[in-house]
Amino acid sequence: MSERNITLKDFDLQNLEERVSRLFGQQQPRSTYVQSLREQLKNSRIFELRRSLGAILVASFGVLFAGALTVSIAVLAQKAHRRLIV
């Protein structure tokens, strides 16, 4: 009997979830609220730090790539120079 009660409770819960979903599924925040929130987030300190960190990471990867490219070219040039001498 307890299994039947659990099944009925699960069914009731599913019905409740479906009704709530139908009621609130079409609701959306006002565009002015969304725009205001977006502006507040853009001007917040955490997003400023995030943008700065992103810029630092991009610059760092650029420097690492340039360094790796320079080392690769130097190694290839040295190998080519050895082949020409020998």
Q: What are phi and psi of 40, to 5 degrees?
A: -65, -40
Instruction: State which H helix or E strand residue 31 sits in.
Output: helix 31-42
**Placement of tokens 């943008």 in the chain:** 51
Is pLDDT above 60 for 52? Answer: yes
- What percentage of the chain exceeds 70 in pLDDT? 85
So what's the pLDDT on residue 34? 85
Q: What share of the chain is helix, strand, coil (3-state, %, to 5)?
A: 90, 0, 10
Please tell me which residue, 36 or 23, carries the higher pLDDT value: 36
DSSP 12: H
Is the pTM higher than 0.75? The answer reads no
Distance CA 77, CA 86 (A): 14
The residues, any chain, with a CB within 8 Å of residue 66's CB and separated by 6 or more, are none
Who has greater pLDDT, 7 or 31? 31
pLDDT digits (tens, 9 = 90+) for 11-35: 677 888 788 878 877 777 788 988 8
User: What is the band of 1 on the pLDDT scale with cuts at 50, 70, 90?
Assistant: very low
